[in-house]
Amino acid sequence: MSHHLLYSLDYEVYWTRNDDEVEVLVRPTDHLLAVARDLGVPVTLFVDVMSLWRYAEVGEARFVQAVERQLREAVASGHDVQVHLHPHWMTAERRGAEWRFAASEFLLGAGRSESETYEVSRRLLERARQYLQDLLQPVDSRYEAVAFRAGGYGLQPGARAIIRALVDAGYAIDSSVVPGMYLRTGRNQVDYRRAPDAANYFLDGESGLDAAARDGVFEVPVGAARIGVAAMARRIGRYGRFRLAPPAPLYGRGHSRDLDGGAVSDGGTWRQSIARKGRVLADRFAALRLPEDPEVLLAVTRAWMARHQVSDTYCSLLVHPKGLTGQMVDDLRTYHRRLLDICGADVAFTTFRDAASRLQPGRARATEALRACR
């Protein structure tokens, strides 16, 4: 039995202000790639390509060139690069040192009909796939953009249209779902509480997010699970320390708070924030995302593996290079070392591109994988 763990980086800058985009994104990613080399594991960079297009449009060549150089080097070193979309960059405006955008533009399906959502999504997904393949196939002729992660996990609203667009644009894998997650903020809408009770499954444009399909895009979720009381206590202690004294990033700083010059934050109103935290505590929900405590990450991983006792399961651990701290680096090393000590040969590390290759050629093998995961 093999549980495949895919280390992934959501490769994006702060949305509103960055003191230096190269410092904010490229340097901490170099640091994480060096850690991955030391650990002997590949990682997948989910690249917010729309930010690169927007920066190029306003003449920020230094940042875009540094990113493209890093992506080529990553692929040459055996890592993977896939597609991440934050659609608000379509309408973001630079005002001095800051960007302004409408909260209503944060999601692909927000404020659009199903047909409009499909057309916008497919156009952006095709452009993103072509952009990365033009950039990276000269480095590795076998490279393909095959996987997608929605910005802010936001496949909703308009999930059916977005999934149809993914299939029609040639994607094999989605990795936007965090099973059990529920989140409502001033910019986001996430409800994955009814995600299929399977390690992996297919999504199609008919069934949407709440039922497994026979074909479509293969879902590789960000791992999530209910955890025990002891792990939950560690989680509460960790986030309590963060609130009192947030650790300083190793590299550049920025923020993603203000929208339209207003004060809509990630947390929504204070009542919404308290309600959301209460729900998380009641559900004992946690996901494979740094900066979680490594013991919490281990608890999620072990619960995930115990729940899905089938061959060839896939789930992802997520890290954001922006805001990288020394504690996060230490925690990643600790988690990886402890995971190998505990799970040994039961866990394998791979990339999204390699996972997709297991589903090729033909969909017959993919259908077999679906049956194994049910």
Instruction: Look at residue 226 in the predicted model and tell me its pLDDT.
Output: 86
Could you read off the pLDDT of 244-300 as tens digits, one per residue?
Answer: 556 889 999 998 864 544 433 444 455 555 555 555 555 678 899 999 999 999 999
Spatial distance between the Cα atoms of 123 and 125, rounded to a whole number of angstroms? 6
Spatial distance between the Cα atoms of 322 and 296, rounded to a whole number of angstroms? 22
* 331's tokens: 């925690």
* CB neighbour list of residue 278: distance below 8 Å, 6 or more residues apart: none
Q: Give the lowest-confidence range in 16-25, 113-122, 243-252.
A: 243-252
Average pLDDT, the chain: 87
Instruction: Look at residue 250 in the predicted model and tell me its pLDDT.
Output: 94
* 115's tokens: 């047909």
Spatial distance between the Cα atoms of 74 and 126, rounded to a whole number of angstroms? 22
Instruction: Look at residue 368 in the predicted model and tell me its pLDDT.
Output: 47
Q: What is the mean pLDDT of residues 112-140?
A: 97
Instruction: Look at residue 251 in the predicted model and tell me its pLDDT.
Output: 95
More reliable by pLDDT, 138 or 268: 138
Any idea what the CATH number is for the domain that residue 170 is in? 3.20.20.510
Relative orientation angle of helices 114-136 and 159-168, to the nearest 10 degrees? 40
More reliable by pLDDT, 258 or 92: 92
Q: Give the lowest-confidence range in 107-121, 134-148, 252-266.
A: 252-266
| The dihedral sign for the CA sequence 276, 281, 282, 285 | positive
Residue 174's φ and ψ, nearest 5 degrees, are -115, 145
Bridge pairing between strands 217-219 and 173-174: parallel
CB-count burial class (<10 Å; 0-12, 13-18, 19+) for 274:
exposed
Q: Give the lowest-confidence range in 85-89, 117-121, 160-164, 259-263.
A: 259-263
Instruction: Look at residue 367 in the predicted model and tell me its pLDDT.
Output: 44
pLDDT at 1 over 60: no
Q: How many domains does the chain have?
A: 1
Nearest by Cα to 13 from 135, 98, 103: 98
The CB-side HSE value for 215 (13 A sphere, CA atoms) comes to: 7
* CB neighbour list of residue 119: distance below 8 Å, 6 or more residues apart: none
Order of strands, sheet of 254-255, starting from the edge strand that comes earlier in the sequence? 93-95, 98-100, 17-18, 254-255
Instruction: Look at residue 120 in the predicted model and tell me its pLDDT.
Output: 96
Q: What is the mean pLDDT of residues 352-369?
A: 66
Instruction: Look at residue 362 in the predicted model and tell me its pLDDT.
Output: 41
pLDDT at 32 over 90: yes
Domain hosting 310: range is: 3-373
With b for 16 or more beta-carbon neighbours within 10 A and e for fewer, the 38-48 pattern comes to ebebbbbbbbb
pLDDT at 361 over 50: no
Name the helix (H) or strand (E) containing 33. Answer: helix 27-39
Instruction: Look at residue 348 in the predicted model and tell me its pLDDT.
Output: 94
Residue 111 — pLDDT band, cuts 50, 70, 90? confident
* 28's tokens: 């901490």
Spatial distance between the Cα atoms of 357 and 352, rounded to a whole number of angstroms? 9
| The dihedral sign for the CA sequence 109, 111, 117, 121 | negative
pTM listed for this prediction: 0.90
Instruction: Look at residue 270 in the predicted model and tell me its pLDDT.
Output: 52
Could you read off the pLDDT of 293-349 as tens digits, one per residue?
Answer: 999 999 999 999 999 987 789 999 999 999 999 999 999 999 999 999 998 888 999
